[in-house]
Chain A
């Protein structure tokens, strides 16, 4: 099994939200919901401030609580790409997975099933990049196999300081933010 993940360069991201719009268009995300979003994180004491702009989404965690708690197996980790997906046909809309996600990355689709970022698997399987990665005007997002030491994502993680989100929640997130 490959282990697909993302690396996002916070030094390049300008928070234009093109990725958000691209995702909504590509995946027909209903009004009032989103699969990715922009966070502007400001820390420090004025005037010594550090600002990080992040494009966030489901982290496709390796130790995914949403997969573990799902009573029907609707939430599962894809065997070929190591991506966390929801089988709409199996989903009861019990919302356990929503409660279990420390990143609040899931929502109930108006049709009743739970939905979230899929890393655009329908595109990836065709050899394309996820829509958000493709559209980013600053080219700050990178997508690839974290298990392949020669992949762009692996090289970036090795060469630049980075962090993942809420690692202390123990979910082993697979999106890395370059500092």
Chain B
């Protein structure tokens, strides 16, 4: 079966979830383009969107309608070509509306997994739970034909394990979109030794159809993205624990978060990032990685303690940030959690000012992440800034330098352990998936001449 044929019958499982809805949107757009294109004539297209949560499927319909419209507004040049022979559609507005109507005719919404029967490709984005995924793939294996391909969005579970234990015969790849899939450009493609080669080739083609940048990762729990993020987070937590003795928990959390955001010129501090991803998701991925990776203690009693106290992070349905290490107002941290007291302590100058003083002033050449993100000269500016950071002797620069070194070590270990092919891929994931301005494998923590 060629890819054009495969695209005619596609399913998404967990379609109403955060990731599933975005994947459904991308597929809906792509399948509609194909339906309208020269190869689409005479073919029927079907996109089956399945989720156990019926109420959430209502939300999915309106999400698709509004997002498809936005996508059509941004691709009207292409759409005018696709509708060139429709004499009745003249203005952009008419063409955009026609596209949305045509696209919304593809999805079938269902709570019945049985509807996946007949699907040539199934994209799965259900909860990150090995037993649940095994159970669902077991059912799919019996339901779907022997040629059906499976694309799992798992963040950490080795796909070879699913393949072997369910007996999928190499018909599954890890297709790791970043959140939100409609916006984020990065896609980690995870293959195992048994993965069918035509599936690998098609996976790259589909990613390019969906306008994603593919970075290949080996089938080792956590892959590149979480392989770096989780360990980077654990390092931040270990620094937090180390500094708690001297300064107290909220103070230490503030210090480490501040250093990891501003001193490292990253988009978010490490604890804000964990809150964004979800303390619960962090714990879950940590658990999976710990189970499959030997010789490394991937565990955090602090994360467990937070979860015990109901501090979970993640987002509300409206996209606003839930409480985690921090409490947020309009997306900005306004208070920090105090582990002992079990409540949030407002961030105010009376005590954060003192901590800022302890860290010392930011090195010369500092520009916030936002100010550098679109600057074509950012690499030179970063190099100059980090040279100044190395040259200053403050608590801030010593914490930042250690952070840089650890981040680099994590990146290099991903190559050594075979997760990533090279430094370019490691750096590519952090640049594209985490919006870092520089990859972890760099010379910023050490004087260039001391590097071999």
Chain A bound to chain B: no
Q: Which residues of B contact A (CB under 8 A)?
A: none
